[in-house]
């Protein structure tokens, strides 16, 4: 237990101290969020792509489309062949 007079939570001043500390922590969190947001905006302006890398590159997309449309392979088989989920394949081919 803290023996300091400012840490005595039975007094009005002592009850105010945790509130002040919580306020400073909250302000620090807002600053962090603001910096992260500004960093993301700057990265996008530089052309940086945020998020996970695509599961299929352009060549694999063309190959998957050929297997489905020309060779008549089922989506499930092509997805298994490329190691992606069927939803990923549908989403990629819709673009």
Residue 2: its pLDDT value, please? 64
Residue 94: its pLDDT value, please? 85
| Residue indicated by tokens 């500390």 | 21
CB contact at 8 A, 6 and 19: no
Q: Is 1 helix (H, G, I), strand (E, B) or coil?
A: coil
Tens-binned pLDDT, residue by residue, of the chain (95 aa): 567 777 778 888 888 888 999 999 999 999 999 999 999 999 999 999 898 888 999 999 999 999 999 999 999 999 999 999 999 999 998 87
Instruction: Tell me the C-alpha distance between 60 and 78, whole Å.
Output: 11
Q: What is the DSSP string of 35-76?
A: HHHHHHHHHHHTTPPPSSPPSS-HHHHHHHHHHHHTS---HH
């Amino acid at each position: 237990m803290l023996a300091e007079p400012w840490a005595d939570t039975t007094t009005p001043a002592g009850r105010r101290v945790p509130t002040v500390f919580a306020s400073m922590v909250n302000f620090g969190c807002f600053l962090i969020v603001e910096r992260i947001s500004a960093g993301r905006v700057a990265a996008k302006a530089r052309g940086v792509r945020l998020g996970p890398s695509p599961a299929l590159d352009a060549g694999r997309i063309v190959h998957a489309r050929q297997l489905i449309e020309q060779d008549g392979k089922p989506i499930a088989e092509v997805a298994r062949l490329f190691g992606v989920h069927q939803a990923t394949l549908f989403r990629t081919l819709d673009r």
